[in-house]
């Protein structure tokens, strides 16, 4: 017995040093963003003033071989004993359902940007849709579901509130009113939640499941084919595995908790996806989307169904080009790129609709050819006003009161509305620039956080208030 105890003590003491020397790991690398120190470069001056020793100590702590293991043990202990997680904005709900906080906010409408702003953005999208149609390019909005709206029954009690107006319902209403093409996968997922053979969302992830992504791809292929008589590539999928060993996407939220053991044993289905392309026409496409498109992109929706289509991630980075060399949307001729494609999709989960469509709405208003108010944009606004019976009736009344022809009053109001939209867009762009500048200034941003706590409001709301104050003070 004494020898066994001695052996255990020796191994316990030796292991950390062995792992330190070999840079070995006894636990998976941690998930998430971490700032780790770089190995310091020795200099006599740094050694004499103690900087080198301090930097070396910090580097050793960050790169110690068993660091990940002990962090996971600590996280597991906090979760198991106190139901505490150490990942910012990640919430574990009932039935071990894991959310990011923004999905819960979206479900309850706590991120609602307002009717007027949504109507203004929708009007801009409608202008882009009309512009693209003239170039035989189809635009389609994809409303993706969200974790909060899919699993509201597992939201923790302390996060439950009354449901206010949501960005999803108001955007959808405007799309209907303005005849903007869209596919509502949020409604589809909810309608099939209880009937689907396999889960469309995992408890451990915040994106649609890999199986759900295959269903989405199948629907999109059929949607695109409906516009053409000639045959496009076929898409098919088959279930190849049903397992509790989840994919990276189905596990993304739980992985960020950096626990030692999994907290869910949910079975998920996995598919083999394939495209039949021989002798089929491939269309050109651009997809502007948040992270919900990555699964489709990775199994070849852009490269195999379409003709090496582009993925404009958050309307910022261009993929696949960005894998080889940093390629930004701002550096390409977006107008001509879009005109030269057959299809343009814009995809967003409900949790990102507060910033939808990621700057794309300013495409035409920021371009030289459409920035000025001209006869085409005026006539387009007149037709839009006529499509709104309440608005049109108020203009007829105004024309009668001012003793002017209805057509003249229509034109006056159309021009006024276009000018207001231009000013709104300009202010929104300036406001966003100020907010980004604040976030990039650590001291300034920390001050905003302190003010938010003091005023008992969210950081985003305090950011907006301070940005508005700065913008107004410049005028």
Q: Model confidence over 114-153: pLDDT tens digits?
A: 998 999 899 889 989 988 998 899 999 999 999 999 999 9
| Percent of the chain whose predicted confidence (pLDDT) is above 70 | 79
- Report if residue 83 sits inside a domain: no
Quick one: pLDDT at residue 426?
65
Please give the sequence-ordered ranges of beta strands (E in DSSP) within 211-277, or none if there are none.
234-243, 268-276
| Percent of the chain whose predicted confidence (pLDDT) is above 90 | 48
- Find out whether 275 and 305 touch, Cβ atoms under 8 Å: yes
**Is the same domain home to 256 and 319?**
yes
Mean pLDDT over 244-257 rounds to: 89
Domain boundary among 11, 32, 67: 67
**Is the same domain home to 432 and 299?**
no
∠ CA 438-442-444 to the nearest 5 degrees?
50
The CA–CA distances, whole Å, from 324 to 317, 319, 327, 338 equal 12, 9, 9, 22
- Report if residue 79 sits inside a domain: no
144 pairs with which residues across the strands? 349
Quick one: pLDDT at residue 182?
98
Beta carbons within 8 Å of 102's beta carbon, 6+ residues apart = 89, 111, 351, 352
207 pairs with which residues across the strands? none
**Is the same domain home to 406 and 275?**
no
**Is the same domain home to 411 and 354?**
no
- Report if residue 158 sits inside a domain: yes
- Report if residue 43 sits inside a domain: yes
**Is the same domain home to 343 and 412?**
no
- Report if residue 446 sits inside a domain: yes
**Which position has the token pair 């690398």?**
29
- Report if residue 113 sits inside a domain: yes
Quick one: pLDDT at residue 454?
82
**Is the same domain home to 353 and 411?**
no
- Report if residue 370 sits inside a domain: no
| Structure-token pair, residue 365 | 């208003």
**Long-range pairs of 377-381 with CB within 8 A, sequence gap ≥ 24:** 377/127, 377/418, 378/411, 378/414, 378/415, 378/418, 380/127, 380/130, 381/414, 381/415, 381/417, 381/418
Q: What does pTM read for this prediction?
A: 0.69
**Is the same domain home to 348 and 207?**
yes
**Is the same domain home to 105 and 238?**
yes
- Report if residue 23 sits inside a domain: yes
**Is the same domain home to 153 and 22?**
no
Asked whether the bond before 219 is cis by omega within 30 degrees of 0, the reply is no
How far apart are alpha carbons 135 and 140 in whole angstroms?
15
- Per DSSP, 301 falls in state I
The answer to whether residue 49 scores a pLDDT higher than 70 is no
**Is the same domain home to 379 and 336?**
no
Cα atoms in the 13 Å half-sphere on the side-chain side of 244: 5
How far apart are alpha carbons 289 and 297 in whole angstroms?
11
Asked which of 115-124, 436-445, 449-458 is least confident by mean pLDDT, the reply is: 436-445
**Is the same domain home to 127 and 222?**
yes
Total structural domains in the chain?
3
**Is the same domain home to 49 and 102?**
no
Domain that holds residue 15: 2-67
Domain boundary among 362, 385, 408: 362
- Per DSSP, 198 falls in state S
């Amino acid at each position: 017995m004494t020898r066994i105890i001695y052996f255990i003590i020796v191994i316990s003491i030796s292991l950390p040093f062995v792992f330190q020397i070999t840079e070995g790991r006894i636990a998976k690398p941690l998930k998430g963003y971490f700032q780790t120190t770089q190995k310091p470069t020795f200099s006599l001056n740094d050694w004499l003033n103690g900087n080198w020793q301090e930097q070396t100590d910090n580097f050793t702590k960050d790169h110690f071989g068993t660091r990940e293991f002990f962090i996971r043990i600590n996280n597991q202990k906090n979760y198991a004993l106190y139901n505490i997680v150490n990942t910012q904005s990640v919430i574990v709900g009932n039935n071990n359902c894991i959310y990011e906080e923004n999905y819960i906010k979206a479900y309850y409408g706590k991120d609602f940007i307002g009717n007027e702003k949504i109507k203004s953005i929708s009007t801009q999208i409608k202008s882009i849709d009309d512009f693209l149609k003239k170039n035989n390019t189809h635009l389609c909005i994809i409303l993706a579901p969200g974790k909060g709206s899919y699993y509201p029954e597992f939201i923790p009690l302390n996060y439950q509130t009354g449901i206010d107006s949501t960005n999803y319902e108001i955007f959808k209403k405007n799309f209907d009113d303005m005849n903007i093409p869209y596919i509502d996968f949020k409604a589809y997922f909810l309608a099939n939640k209880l009937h689907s053979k396999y889960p469309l969302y995992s408890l451990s992830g915040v994106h649609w499941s890999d199986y759900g992504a295959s269903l989405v791809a199948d629907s999109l292929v059929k949607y695109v084919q409906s516009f053409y008589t000639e045959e496009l590539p076929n898409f098919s999928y088959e279930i190849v595995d049903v397992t509790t060993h989840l994919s990276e996407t189905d596990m993304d939220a739980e992985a960020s908790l950096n626990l030692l053991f999994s907290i869910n044993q949910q079975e998920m289905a996995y598919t083999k996806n394939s495209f039949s392309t021989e002798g089929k026409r491939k269309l050109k496409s651009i997809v502007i989307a948040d992270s919900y498109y990555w699964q489709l992109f990775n199994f070849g929706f852009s490269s195999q169904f379409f003709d090496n289509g582009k993925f404009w991630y958050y309307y910022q980075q261009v993929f696949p080009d960005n894998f080889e060399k940093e390629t930004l949307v701002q550096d390409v001729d977006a107008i001509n790129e879009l005109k030269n494609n057959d299809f343009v999709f814009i995809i967003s989960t409900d949790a990102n609709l507060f910033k939808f469509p990621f700057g794309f709405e300013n495409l035409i208003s920021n371009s030289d050819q459409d920035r000025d108010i001209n006869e085409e944009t005026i006539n387009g606004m007149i037709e839009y006003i006529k499509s709104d019976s309440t608005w049109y009736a108020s203009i007829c009344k105004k024309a009668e009161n001012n003793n002017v022809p209805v057509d003249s009053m229509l034109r006056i109001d159309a021009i006024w509305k276009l000018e207001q939209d231009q000013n709104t867009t300009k202010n929104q762009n300036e406001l966003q620039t100020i907010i980004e500048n604040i976030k990039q200034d650590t001291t300034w941003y920390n001050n905003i956080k302190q003010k938010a706590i003091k005023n008992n409001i969210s950081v985003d709301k305090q950011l907006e208030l301070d940005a508005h104050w700065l913008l107004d003070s410049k005028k």
